[in-house]
Amino acid sequence: MTSSFLPPINFKDIVTTYKSGARGDVYDALVQPLHEELYRKQTFAFVDTLSWGQELILTYDYLQIQANQGGFIQFIHNGYVGLLPTMIEQFYKLGAAEMALVLDDVLKVYVLNKKILDDAQSVEDFARLYDELKEFEILDERYISLNEPTTRLLLNYAMEHLEEFGTDTNNTTNNN
């Protein structure tokens, strides 16, 4: 699917930044306009209008923000578990099968423990989840070990398909 939202991006600057090794800057330049538009629209329905690459980088960024702070328990507790099925499919498409398997396992553990996860309302209940659901510790560790190579794969895809992430402010074609 092509995106209905293509923010202006200076492809030449993105390529130069990528080649310089500042991959985090490239990642931020691609994902930030998506976050801003999502915030402006105030509805996750916006995600359905994105290309699969845009959707993956945006949803994976949500995963990173949550999981890097409080693991998958925080990701689930903050209501993002619904992003997993599509993300799993997209990671397989990207060639990140190991990350897809981790996320699939997270989804399975969630389903098996849905009641306890959904019932945790207070801060104390939430904190107790970390003691009660040790399965997530192993999944958090697997995620952490795969995060960097997965992000690299995602950025490599983005660099090969910049036109999927925005329109070139220089109006030139990207030829990595």
**Residue 17, pLDDT score:** 97
**Residue 168, pLDDT score:** 95
**Residue 119, pLDDT score:** 92
**Residue 4, pLDDT score:** 83
* Closest CA relative to residue 162, chosen from 9, 27, 17: 9
Mean pLDDT by 10 residues, the chain (176 residues): 88 96 96 96 92 96 96 95 97 98 98 94 92 96 98 97 94 52
Instruction: Decide if 24 is inside a domain.
Output: yes
Q: Domain count for the chain, please give it.
A: 1
Range of the domain at 91: 8-162
State the pTM of this model.
0.92
Instruction: Decide if 38 is inside a domain.
Output: yes
Instruction: Decide if 2 is inside a domain.
Output: no
Instruction: Decide if 110 is inside a domain.
Output: yes
DSSP, collapsed to helix, strand or coil, labels residue 168 as strand
Instruction: Decide if 174 is inside a domain.
Output: no
CATH number at residue 44: 1.20.1420.60
Distance CA 59, CA 44 (A): 10
Copy the structure tokens of residue 111. 């389903």
Instruction: Decide if 74 is inside a domain.
Output: yes
Instruction: Decide if 70 is inside a domain.
Output: yes
Instruction: Decide if 3 is inside a domain.
Output: no
**Residue 159, pLDDT score:** 97
DSSP, collapsed to helix, strand or coil, labels residue 4 as coil
With contact defined as beta carbons under 8 Å apart, do 1 and 161 qualify?
no
**Residue 1, pLDDT score:** 66
